[in-house]
Amino acid sequence: MELKGNQVLLQSEELDRYILETSIYPREPKILKELRDATASHPLAFFGTLPSTGQFLTMLLNLIKAKKTIEVGVFTGYSLLLTALTIPEDGKVIAVDKNRASFEIGLPIIQKSGVGHKIDFVESEALPLLDQLLEKEENEGSFDFAFVDADKGNYWNYHERLMKLVKVGGVIVYDNTLWGGTVAMPENLVLEQKRKVRLETIEFNKKMAADTRVELCHAPIGDGITICRRLC
């Protein structure tokens, strides 16, 4: 069956709600909830990183003690704000999005949070920005962490660049890599508007699975996330 709405990959929406209400919403920082609420009336509100994914990203950032990070795909800033809240006072997140207007919806909340100074937002297509970062030798292997949540057809292009920017032992997370569960469905059961990204995601997942440069974990959190750790 096609997955819709909040893209629940679990056995039931009730189980998804159970996890949210038991373990996620009560621990979600108030300022992130505020940003989520400010995004709720946006016609593309479903773009926002899911709180389940956000909670996992926060734990991962803490576990690896991430200090210098990159984010590709900001929208109104949910994952960006959680990153800035989690990295240390002298940490930095370089965030790129081709659309500044959506970032500006979250900006007043980010400014109020007191962690805005850790954020360098760049309005740009992501590929040229990553290429620009790579032009400076000092950026190579200098990032602890990257989160990618933008155009799915470019994920492999982002991966090739991020593999040079992230240090050996650093972590890259890709969002939406189960694409509402459609990656495992026959095409004829998938809504027409989801088919292109489904094929792009299947192709990306195949390439990632074969990439021996990384340790890999493909986890059914949120809309599916792929976590990879650079090995060499």
Ligand X SMILES: C[S@@+](CC[C@H](N)C(=O)[O-])C[C@H]1O[C@@H](n2cnc3c(N)ncnc32)[C@H](O)[C@@H]1O
Ligand Y SMILES: O=c1cc(-c2ccc(O)cc2)oc2c(O)c(O)ccc12
Residues lying near ligand Y in the complex (CB under 6 A):
46-47, 149-152, 175-176, 197, 223
Residue 193, token pair as written in the block = 């508007």
DSSP for residue 149: -
Choose the contact partner of 173 out of ligand Y, ligand X, none; CB within 5 to 8 A by kind. none
Binding residue (CB under 6 A) for ligand X from 119, 150, 162, 190: 150
Angle, CA 185 vertex, CA 179 and CA 190 arms, to 5°:
70
Q: How many residues belong to the site for ligand X (CB under 6 A)?
A: 20
Nearer to ligand X, 122 or 202 (CB): 122
Binding residue (CB under 6 A) for ligand X from 48, 181, 222, 224: 48
| Sheet of 68-72, strand order | 119-123, 92-97, 68-72, 143-148, 166-175, 225-230, 214-219
Cβ proximity of 94 and 118 under 8 Å: no
CB atoms within 10 A of CB 211: 16
Based on the shown chain and the rule CB under 6 A, indicate whether residue 145 belongs to the binding site for ligand X. no
Angle, CA 164 vertex, CA 209 and CA 119 arms, to 5°:
105
In the complex, minimum distance from the CB of residue 176 to ligand X, in angstroms, rounded to a whole number: 7
Residue carrying structure tokens 């900001």: 74
Backbone angles phi, psi at 167, to 5 degrees: -70, 160
Based on the shown chain and the rule CB under 6 A, indicate whether residue 201 belongs to the binding site for ligand X. no
Nearer to ligand Y, 117 or 195 (CB): 195
Binding residue (CB under 6 A) for ligand X from 68, 149, 171, 183: 149
CB atoms within 10 A of CB 98: 15
Binding residue (CB under 6 A) for ligand X from 3, 7, 8, 49: 49
Based on the shown chain and the rule CB under 6 A, indicate whether residue 125 belongs to the binding site for ligand X. yes
Nearer to ligand Y, 18 or 46 (CB): 46
Nearer to ligand X, 144 or 149 (CB): 149
Based on the shown chain and the rule CB under 6 A, indicate whether residue 79 belongs to the binding site for ligand X. yes
Contacts 24+ apart (CB under 8 A), 191-200: 191/2, 196/153, 197/152, 197/153, 200/152, 200/153, 200/155
Based on the shown chain and the rule CB under 6 A, indicate whether residue 7 belongs to the binding site for ligand X. no
Q: What residues line the site for ligand X (CB under 6 A)?
A: 47-49, 73-76, 78-79, 96-99, 102, 125-126, 149-151, 154
